[in-house]
Amino acid sequence: MIELEKLVTKTDRITAMARRKNALRLHLGEPDFPVPSYVKEEIIGFFKESIEKGYTRYTDPRGIRELREVLSEKLHRKNKIDAGPSQIVVTAGGTAALSLIFRLIAANDYVAIPDPAWFAYPSIIRVAEAKIVRIPENSYNYETLSKITEELRKKEGELKAIVVNSPSNPTGYVYSREELREIIDFAEDYSVFVISDEVYEDYPLTREPISVASINSEKVFSVYSMSKTYGLTGLRIGYLVAPNKELARKITIMQLHTYVCPTSMAQYIALRCIEEKIEEKLLPIWLKEIKTNISLTRKRLSEENIEWKEPMGGIYAWIGLPSIDSWIFARELLEKKLVSVAVGEDFGPRWKSYIRILLAVSNEKYSEGFSRILEFYKEIKEKH
Amino acid sequence: MIELEKLVTKTDRITAMARRKNALRLHLGEPDFPVPSYVKEEIIGFFKESIEKGYTRYTDPRGIRELREVLSEKLHRKNKIDAGPSQIVVTAGGTAALSLIFRLIAANDYVAIPDPAWFAYPSIIRVAEAKIVRIPENSYNYETLSKITEELRKKEGELKAIVVNSPSNPTGYVYSREELREIIDFAEDYSVFVISDEVYEDYPLTREPISVASINSEKVFSVYSMSKTYGLTGLRIGYLVAPNKELARKITIMQLHTYVCPTSMAQYIALRCIEEKIEEKLLPIWLKEIKTNISLTRKRLSEENIEWKEPMGGIYAWIGLPSIDSWIFARELLEKKLVSVAVGEDFGPRWKSYIRILLAVSNEKYSEGFSRILEFYKEIKEKH
């Protein structure tokens, strides 16, 4: 049996503490903008339609047909991926999509993830009965990947999939076309799947993200999250594109026997949100606020002579604070300044002096929270 | 890798054919009553509240606190089970609850299921990487169970859990207190878990179902489905009661890393449905229709001299039609009379001459469908 206790991260503990203390929460892994009331009204209207039209039963286990049709059109238009409705599976969020893929293709074998990587990957992979190997973020190249593969084989392990997360959580890195091409070349030569986690696709900053499957889709699973785009993570609607119909069918059978299908009304709401282009009403405003928060961060960090790599996309600032242990830092910060941040080492053991801060919050909230973080960092530094 | 293709049942194929042909569907595994419009209005109101109150984000991975509190009260009142909110996990439907339990306690080992049993059990169990052994429905007694356990041990297998499904899908059997006591005695002596699938608890007919955990909860997981009670299977809200907090916590960690949490708005709707006792507006009417459908079935089967065991609870009629092969019968019936029924052998290889018919439909629909089924049976019999 999996040692489940080990899967509780330090950031999970921060989450619980921050909730108890009602802190200013910058550790969150979801956009924290208020949804405008006219958008709320629209969503309530979509729910009403779903009930009136009878979307109250089990749906097609792949997701309702109309939704997969608009997704196929969206993938073609936005992601340059050609995938018909039968290659798409609507899932109960992006995590569910990842979990189903890992269970299908990597059980008992290895999945490669970046270093640093979103702290839930190791847990999702282990709960899916697979094992992880870490690839340093900037060495997703043919040579490193094949070296790691050969080393695993010596230990009788098999690399089955590589996770590419662009824009990255936590670093905000966006892979270039050349880097993605090299990953695909490797995947084809070594017969390994690429799992392209594109849940932050709607948050481009300084570089436009490219969908891996737009280059070559033969070995690529693409994963998206509707709820991240609309700031409605509670909706639990994501979707995946499989490399072919046969693999989409296998994922569907697994989904059917894991939780049947995503909530029917939520699927319908997702359909209507896409049709009505609700994202166009939200994202421009949100991206503007994120960019203002980045400017503030740049300015303040430079004043303190702290080096920082600015995100090319996504919703996070990933900051190394020299000579701190971020687990101790995060707990004391929460205790003394009532601000929560995500803990570096959850993203990989090498990142003990890093913190991840949510950029997708109002400027007012961010400015207040970030000031308290820097203030506390200076207090600590002065003590030593 | 699991041979997923084998998990597609004959009834799944009937489902697809019945949808294409727009047939009168009596193969369904969910109540098919229309939800009255004033109930729809209430549910739309609950959704509106959920958005206004901000239930739009990831929830506590165990399910929202208020919901677990009303469930704890419901379990105490209705099921005579004493379980606090931290022993309860809200899941994305009953299937999700079962899948998580199987994966936690039985991966690579055996789960015992009835014969006949709901045709999805073997698939859910296999997708959870566990194996099945069948116990004839009326021999869920100490002697049979221990004999089977000993036989598995000879093959180096271990029995980890026994599924009890009362009221049963498909037979409608409801276990007596004495039978349940014997199962519990066995479970304690052999250190095996009992998984009590009580999703049809709200459909008692001639015998009131008893919750296994009300007798002794030490080794018992209880599984419920909210969506079955309200005829809203698309809601995807179920819940489980674990034998103790520690096991509830483990299930929660697995849920978190499989699909995070059930849809937040759906959880809130479930909470409000329970608070407003919506079921009291639906179930008395539905049970009356089911009973009328049973009377009709009894009368017509007796006229044809077909033996039948009437259901003690649940929503199905399970009928053996002498000398038919129900897979051929179901396909031809659908072709010629445009009525769909579930195929006996999906419920266990010994049940080739049985069909399962949904009783939870309007009398008008049932009467029409059932007449066509009998008519077709007589036509076949006359040919031979």
To the nearest whole angstrom, how far is the Cα of B24 from the nearest Cα of chain A? 16
Token reading at B6: 């084998």
**Residues of chain A neighbouring B59 (CB-CB closer than 8 A):** 234
Please state the rounded mean pLDDT for residues B268-282. 95
Task: Give Rg (Cα) of chain A.
Answer: 21
**Do A123 and B255 touch, CB atoms closer than 8 A?**
no
Tell me the two tokens of residue B82: 């004493």
The distance of B237 to chain A (nearest Cα, Å) reads 9
Q: What is the pLDDT of residues B134-169, one digit of tens each?
A: 998 778 999 999 999 999 998 878 999 999 999 999
Q: Is A7 on the interface with B (CB under 8 A)?
A: yes
Nearest Cα to Cα of residue A234 among B53, B263, B48: B263
> What part of A 233-292 touches B (C-beta under 8 Å)?
233-236, 250, 253-254, 256-266
Reported as a single tens digit per residue, the pLDDT across B300-350 is 999 999 999 999 999 999 999 998 999 999 999 999 999 999 999 999 999
CA-based nearest residue in chain B for residue A51: B40
Closest residue by Cα to residue B27 from B345, B312, B342, B337: B342
In chain A, where are the structural domains located?
A: 4-29+280-383, 39-275
Residue B111 contacts A, CB cutoff 8 Å = no
CB contact under 8 A, B259 and A55: no
Residue of A nearest to B108 (CA): A1
pLDDT per position as a tens digit, B35-67: 888 889 999 999 999 999 999 999 999 999 999
Domain spanning B55-275 has what CATH number? Answer: 3.40.640.10
pLDDT over threshold 90, residue B382 = no
Say if B108 is an interface residue toward chain A (CB within 8 Å).
no
Does the CB of A27 have a partner CB in chain B at under 8 Å? no
Of the candidates B56, B127, B261, the beta carbon closest to that of A258 is on: B127
pLDDT at B1: 57
Give the angle subtended at the CA of B206 by the CAs of B200 and B210, to the nearest 5°.
50
ipTM entry? 0.95
Mean pLDDT of chain B: 95
- The pLDDT score that the predictor gives to residue A2 is 65
Q: Domain A39-275 falls in which CATH fold?
A: Aspartate Aminotransferase; domain 2 (3.40.640)
Compare all CA atoms of chain B with the CA of A268 and give the residue at the minimum distance. B234
Q: Is the pLDDT of residue A384 over 80?
A: no
Answer yes or no: is pLDDT of B229 > 90.
no
pLDDT attached to residue A229: 84
A4-29+280-383 shares its CATH topology with A39-275: no
Question: CB A96 to CB B254 under 8 A?
Answer: no
Report the distance separating Cα B77 and Cα B84, nearest Å: 13
Size of interface A-B (CB pairs under 8 A): 163
What is A4-29+280-383's CATH number, 1.10.3470.10, 3.40.50.261, 3.90.1150.10, 3.30.110.70?
Answer: 3.90.1150.10
Say if residue A359's pLDDT is above 60: yes
Say if strands B354-358 and B342-343 run parallel, antiparallel, or are unpaired. antiparallel
Q: Give the DSSP H/E element, type plus range, for residue A162.
A: strand A159-165
Q: Closest partner residue to B253 among A8, A265, A266, by Cβ?
A: A8
